[in-house]
Every structure is written in C-alpha cells, then in structure tokens.
Amino acid sequence: MTRIFRHHLGHQLPDADLMPVALAGRGATGADVEAYVRRALGAARRARRPLRLDDLLAEVRSKREPPSEEDRRRLAVHEAGHAVIATVLGGMKVAGVTIGDRDGVTEIFRVDGSISPERCHEVMIMLLAGRAAEELVIGSPSGGAGGVPGSDLSRATDLGKDMELRLGFGELGPVFLPEGAHDTLTVIPGLLGSVRKRLDRAMSDATELLGKNRAALDEVADRLTASGYLSAAEIAELVGAANRPGDGDDPAREPEDKLGASLGTVREQIETSLADRTPAKTGTGERRT
C-alpha cells in the first residue's frame, strides 16, 4: 500500500513516512488512493501551502472515525500477544504486525508443516494469544477474537474439532468423520465438551506464557500503539531485549517449548495434508482482530 501511495504522490512528500496512511487506507484500491491524493492536493492548494501528510491522512479517514485511544491500545495489545507468543515459541517467523483504524494483522511465514497433537495444541495457543493478552493487560477480552468465520475463535474451534474427528487425536480414537449437513459439535455426544477442554487448556497456556513474557508484551504493545507497524526485526529485537537476563535473573533460563504455529492457514494446511497425504511445507498467516 505504501508503494501505491508513493506512485500517486510522485515528487510530493519525498521524505515522509507513508506507513500511517497506508495502515489507515488498508483495503483501498489504486483508484481510491489516487482520489485520496488528488483531494489532499486540492485541499493544500486551496490553503496556499505545500501538501502535508496530515492532509492525506485526513482524506483517507474522511468517511470513517479514527479509533479512540482505548480501542487503539486494545488492538495493539491483542496483536502484541500473537507476535510475542509466536516469537517465544519459535518454529515460524513473524513477518510484521500492523494495527489500523479498525483492526489489526499479524503476518506469519515459515510454518512448520508437521501435524501432531502437540503441534495442534501449539497452534491453538497462538490463536488464543490475542484474547489472552487482552485479559492479562486490560482485564477483559473484546469480541475481536471471534464473531465471524475465520476469526481466532473460529479457527481454534475448527482445529479442536479436526483433532477429535479427522486427525485421530481425540477421545474417539483413530477415526475420520467428514463434515456433514449439521454442525458436529451439536450432534456428536460429548464432542463439544472435548473441544472446550482443548480450548481451555490452550487459553490457559497462552495466559501463562504471556505472563512469563509480560515485559516483552508491554514493550511490543507500547511500540505498536505509537507507530502502528512493527517489522520482523523490530519485534525480534523488542522481545529479545525484554527477555535478556538482568541482575538476579537466571542466564540459563530460556523460553519454554520451542514450538510453532500459524494464524492464517491452519485448517487449510490440515485439509491439504489430509488430501495429499503429505505435510504442508509453508504457510502464511493473517489475523484479523
């Protein structure tokens, strides 16, 4: 998105950091960006002054309300939870984290394609880490982790169902039951309780890991609130700095469980693996919260 804005700006604002307008305009088309720039230039000309970044940001946000400080902080805490846990657990890389006016995105790549009970549980930890971070830092969760298919809660629940019904990891044993016309959670006795236990355990583990890495969580959330974007290198540096042993710390202590997870294509990887009988090799993840 920053490249699209740069293209339409031409020689205007040559040294400006365009990330704030790119985040605010996420989802816009090239035609939308061209219109934003044209209207912002018009506003600057009418004011008889050079174009300012605030002119462009005002146009992007002209038909939407910017988030309150409270909402922006919650978005940052939520995404920081995912980013910190991904970095601490390992097995994949966080490509970057952004928060915009309405939602946030955590991008992940180099996902470990193996499928095992342990790996699936680790994925669920990652999927619930944003909600756990909200509870830990703010004191209560929002509905941002759920509400729609493809959300954190949706993916975690689907993965729990897959473990019970399709991957042979549950109380029913080595079975494969395809999806039917009705939600299996309501028609198979005991399934809802089994999936709930998995979700509760993953949520508990996410909360525990975030508590052990609270300094990193706070640092990433603070920086994300201020800038709206953190690169992979910045996240790694912030988490590493927060976890470096200080006075009185045990230098031999390491984050427990070097694990991996995906925020975006968990179910798709499992389905592809089951269909092809070969494990998925790569994956990219996106989280909307």
Single pTM value for the model: 0.69
What is the model's pLDDT at position 246?
61
Q: Which of 288 and 90 is assigned the larger pLDDT? A: 90
Least Cα distance to 95 among 113, 77, 82 occurs for 82
The Cα 43–Cα 40 span in angstroms is 5
What average pLDDT does the segment 275-283 reach?
A: 36
Is residue 275 predicted with pLDDT exceeding 90?
Answer: no
What is the model's pLDDT at position 268?
52
What is the model's pLDDT at position 61?
73
Cβ-Cβ contacts under 8 Å for 2 (sequence gap 6 or more):
18, 19, 22
pLDDT tens digits, residue range 112-157?
A: 777 889 888 888 898 899 999 999 999 999 988 888 888 899 999 9
Least Cα distance to 112 among 86, 138, 81, 83 occurs for 86
User: What SS3 class is residue 30?
Assistant: helix
Is residue 63 predicted with pLDDT exceeding 80?
Answer: no
CB 98 within 8 A of CB 229: yes
pLDDT tens digits, residue range 185-206?
A: 778 888 889 999 999 999 999 9
pLDDT tens digits, residue range 209-264?
A: 999 999 999 999 999 888 788 888 889 999 989 877 764 454 444 443 333 334 44
Is residue 174 predicted with pLDDT exceeding 50?
Answer: yes
What is the model's pLDDT at position 255?
40
What is the model's pLDDT at position 150?
86
Q: Extract the tokens encoding 20.
A: 């704030």
What is the model's pLDDT at position 261?
37
The Cα 248–Cα 91 span in angstroms is 29
What average pLDDT does the segment 7-34 reach?
A: 83
What is the model's pLDDT at position 179?
77
Least Cα distance to 205 among 129, 145, 130, 144 occurs for 129
What is the model's pLDDT at position 198?
93
Provide the pLDDT confidence category of residue 289 given band limits of 50, 70 and 90: very low
Least Cα distance to 36 among 15, 12, 70 occurs for 12
What is the model's pLDDT at position 152?
92
